[in-house]
Amino acid sequence: MLNFLISVLLASLSVQYASAIQCYECSSVNNSMCLDPTIYDKDTLQKFMTLTDCGTHGNQEFFCRKIIQTILRKGHESEVRVHRGCGWVRSRRACYKADNDDHLETVCQCFDDGCNGGNSVVVAKWILLVASATVVLNKWR
């Protein structure tokens, strides 16, 4: 019986846990909340901006992406559009810009669940890092 339990334990430890990343999927063309979700409370976000399980694309894992487009129209005001969703072709940079004849584009990628919902997650990580560093430095004094 002990050998059986050890075998089950070893088998369970050798199984890798895998799950798809979840990203916000929206376009400001048909959902104005997509422009800046950070100004809305959590309940409103859950109701009107859904998280999508991205999965995988071949051997590549998905990640979250936010695309900000400034549409340029001659003789008219420019229009800003935001698209959030899953991506699978990674860039070497976290964000990059593209300049086309009719629009400017900024594309950012991130790798945590819901990270393309706004800047608040990135800010929270920095706050946690600075707070941890402060505690460690104070203990060394």
Question: Residue 81: pLDDT above 90?
Answer: yes
Helix (H, G, I), strand (E, B) or coil at 33: helix
Q: What is the DSSP letter of 109?
A: E
Quick count: other Cβ atoms within 10 Å of Cβ 109? 19
The number of residues making up the chain comes to 141
Higher pLDDT, 111 or 3: 111
Question: Residue 117: pLDDT above 50?
Answer: yes
Helix (H, G, I), strand (E, B) or coil at 15: coil
- Please state the domain extents for the chain: 18-140
Two structure tokens written together for 3: 């050998």
Where does the pLDDT of residue 122 fall: very low under 50, low under 70, confident under 90, or very high at 90 and above? Answer: very low
> Which residues, including other chains, have CB under 8 Å from residue 140's CB and lie 6 or more apart?
none
Where does the pLDDT of residue 124 fall: very low under 50, low under 70, confident under 90, or very high at 90 and above? Answer: very low
pLDDT tens, residue by residue, 46-72: 899 989 999 876 777 899 999 999 999
Looking at domain 18-140, its CATH architecture is Ribbon (2.10)
Mean pLDDT of the chain: 78
